[in-house]
């Protein structure tokens, strides 16, 4: 690769959640919804696309706006948002973008001759009689489309949402939410050929997957000839998968692919002691050669409305499934990060307050409840370039963790770029329990920013790095640099 790549893998100023990766030609294209930093609701920006060469997942290119929310005929003023989309190449060779039109209970479809060109409105998913799906009382609520053009040219559309049908759809239509559904589309890509049927019941319904019942975030791929359905479970902070020999049923639960707080790894299920702050997530599988990745998003700014794109490499099980991936700072990188160089604090994959306390950022009154907790944020407003994302509000006992780095055992120095108002000590360790200290630096901040350099020592090998602040006040963690001692001469 041309350079190292981190999580989040897009620039610090970009907020693209719900990312669905697809390989078209020799490039990977990621389609997602588009949050705005500081927004009070989900997905207020227009759809954009990012792409990278299949042989270099560090070289992401901004493809620009591919579809504006005002292009939907029902949204000329841009009042409504466009939620999580998916894209497939139809049997005719064109590219079709499916999206949930806000909470109105309908799927819009746009079409383009190229993967990342300017999409044009094409129609709404509808029944054979022309009636738009989601407009009849008793129908399943359309939400989070996942679409697959199969090897035989048949087109399968998946959808589903587990909570009470939200306003405004509930205002006009008595829609249902019994679980994840599947339907087949006609060759025109917009007419329902086989009516929607529930194949992934929600929690409490017969046939629901125990402990990981369907919630939302439908995504579908072919894996070694089988159909692999990816979804967010009732826990709402993980992505799970189920496998079947056919696209319209018979799916068996496979396991968790990734969880925002690394829950379910090592038996930990305590949300208040997760390895990061929790909230919804959504993504899909990417296959390049023999490698498989799971794409997902994380939460920032103590809200659910400024989410960022991340990805992790997956390991296969002997039965053809996948082991759960650990959340890292180096997801798409070809191995651990270098034990030298400058790293922005925003790539931390673990973050918690004193006593290893975390929790959900999308609960009731989250900013009040999480007032003493560290969080990812940026200065200023939403922007299209030149971000300065950092970790704010590191108070006594707060920890930021980064995984993983390859160290060669040589003596180094480490510089810390910090700000805020705080007096205390930063300790740095290669273990979360801080039994071994690799570096230590005293800090005194009086509303200013400064860079502090101190000695750093770590044995040869691949390790995480954990930074803990102990003291008074609140420190902002901007970046750190690992420096070979000879470079300081």
- Where in the sequence numbering do the catalytic residues fall? 18, 216
- Which residues contact residue 159 at a Cβ distance below 8 angstroms, ignoring those fewer than 6 apart? 107, 140, 142, 143, 144, 145, 146, 180, 181, 183, 196, 218
Closest C-alpha to 67, from 43, 92, 89: 43
Closest C-alpha to 392, from 466, 450, 473, 454: 473
Residue 13: cis peptide before it, omega within 30 degrees of 0: no
Distance between CA atoms of residues 300 and 349, nearest Å? 12
- Sign of the torsion angle spanned by Cα atoms 271, 273, 277, 281: negative
- Sign of the torsion angle spanned by Cα atoms 254, 260, 266, 271: negative
Q: Report the 3 state secondary structure along the chain.
A: CCCCCCCCCCCCCCCCCCCEEEEECCEEEEECCCCCCCCCCCCCCCEEEEEEECCCCCCCEEEEEEECHHHCCCCCCCCCCEEEEEEEECCCCCEEEEEEECCCCCEEEEEECCCCCCCEEEEECECCCCCECCCCCCCECCCCCEEEECCCCCEEEEECCCCCCCCCHHHHCCCECCEEEEEEECCCCCEEEEEEEEEEEECCCCCCCCCCCEEEEEEEEEECCEEEEEEEECCCCEEEEEEECECCECCEEEEEEEECCCCCHHHCCCHHHCCCCECCCCCCEEEECCEEEEEEEEEECCEEEEEEEEEEEECECCCCCECCCCCCCCCCCCCCEECCEEEEHHHCCEEEEHHHECCECCCCCHHHHCCCCCEEECCCCCCCCCCCCEEEEECCCCEEEEEEEEECCCCEEEEEEEEEEEEEEEEEECCCCCCCEEEEEEEEEEEEEEEEEEEECCCCEEEEEEEEEEEEEEEEEEEEEEEEHHHHC
């Amino acid at each position: 690769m041309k350079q190292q790549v981190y999580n989040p893998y897009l620039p610090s100023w970009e907020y693209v959640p719900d990312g669905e990766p697809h390989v078209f030609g020799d490039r990977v294209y990621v389609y997602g919804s588009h949050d705005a930093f500081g927004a009070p609701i989900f997905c207020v920006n227009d759809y954009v696309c990012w792409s990278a060469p299949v042989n270099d997942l560090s070289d992401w290119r901004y493809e620009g706006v591919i579809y504006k929310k005002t292009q939907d005929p029902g949204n000329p003023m841009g009042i409504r948002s466009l939620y999580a989309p998916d894209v497939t190449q139809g049997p005719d060779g064109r590219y079709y973008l499916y999206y949930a039109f806000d909470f109105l209970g309908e799927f819009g479809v746009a079409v383009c001759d190229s993967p990342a060109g300017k999409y044009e409105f094409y129609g709404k998913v509808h029944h054979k009689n022309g009636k738009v799906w989601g407009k009849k009382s008793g129908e399943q609520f359309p939400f989070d489309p996942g679409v697959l053009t199969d090897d035989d040219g048949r087109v399968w559309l998946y959808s589903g949402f587990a909570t009470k049908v939200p306003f405004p759809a509930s205002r006009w239509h008595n829609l249902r939410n019994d679980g994840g559904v599947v339907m087949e589309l006609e060759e025109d890509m917009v007419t329902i050929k086989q009516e929607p049927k529930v194949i992934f019941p929600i929690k409490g319904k017969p046939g629901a997957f125990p402990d990981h019942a369907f919630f939302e975030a439908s995504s579908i791929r072919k894996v070694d000839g089988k159909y692999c359905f990816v979804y967010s479970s009732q826990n709402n902070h993980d992505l799970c998968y189920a496998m079947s020999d056919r696209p319209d049923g018979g799916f068996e639960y496979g396991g968790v692919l990734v969880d925002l707080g690394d829950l379910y790894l090592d038996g930990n299920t305590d949300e208040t002691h997760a390895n990061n702050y929790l909230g919804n997530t959504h993504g899909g599988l990417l296959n390049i050669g023999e490698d498989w990745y799971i794409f997902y998003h994380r939460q920032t700014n103590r809200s659910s409305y400024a989410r960022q794109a991340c990805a992790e490499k997956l390991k296969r099980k002997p039965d053809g499934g996948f082991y759960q991936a650990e959340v890292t700072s180096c997801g798409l990188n070809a191995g651990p990060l270098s034990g030298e160089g400058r790293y922005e604090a925003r790539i931390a994959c673990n973050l918690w307050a004193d006593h290893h306390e975390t929790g959900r950022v999308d609960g009731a009154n989250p900013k009040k409840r999480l007032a003493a907790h560290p969080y990812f944020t940026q200065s200023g407003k939403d922007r299209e370039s030149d971000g300065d994302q950092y970790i704010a509000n590191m108070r006594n006992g707060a920890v930021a963790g980064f995984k993983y780095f390859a160290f060669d055992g040589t003596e180094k120095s480490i510089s810390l770029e910090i700000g805020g108002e705080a007096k205390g000590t930063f300790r740095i360790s290669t273990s979360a329990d801080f039994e071994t200290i690799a570096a230590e630096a005293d800090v005194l901040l009086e509303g200013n920013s400064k860079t502090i350099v101190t000695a750093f020592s770590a044995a040869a090998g691949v390790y995480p790095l954990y930074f803990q602040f102990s003291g008074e006040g609140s420190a902002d963690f901007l970046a750190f640099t690992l420096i070979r001692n000879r470079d300081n001469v």
